[in-house]
Structure 1
């Protein structure tokens, strides 16, 4: 491998890492939404199993927030918008 090829490979790796950086979709606790609403929303929007949605909802309630999905920004953006549309407080971090 020559020097030019090594630089190109390292640049390609850096670009790939930058474009596939994983983010967290975090839902925050509030005093408005019911457990049932949060669970149903996580099942519908994030495609959680009922058990997973219930566990996340408990963490949101007792810890104040919970990462409900991990993925690229592009994967999470639509879910975050849908959570907002269902009146949940969520953010991509």
Structure 2
């Protein structure tokens, strides 16, 4: 009688193992899928944040260019002459 009970428990355990393993495997697969979905959502958020920051960049660059243009307005281009050299370039005997 004890041997029959042991055999029944072994048979029951052997029959239940594939079902419990399959259930565990499905749970694990669902868990991995949820983790993957979370990572994808995080990546999409990062891309959207970067795109938003990039959208403001042309305006900021335009402001900087305008500011530089304003600063460079009074600047004269070319090599500056030392003070007092204008007389050297006059023709002798010319009247001013």
Q: TM-score range by the shorter chain?
A: 0.3 to 0.5
Relative contact order (alpha carbons < 8 A, sep ≥ 6): 1 or 2 greater? 1
Give me the TM-score of the superposition, normalised by structure 1: 0.35
**TM-score of the pair, normalised by structure 2:** 0.34
Q: Which has the larger radius of gyration?
A: 2
Which structure dedicates a bigger proportion of its chain to strand?
1
Structure showing the higher helix proportion among its residues: 2
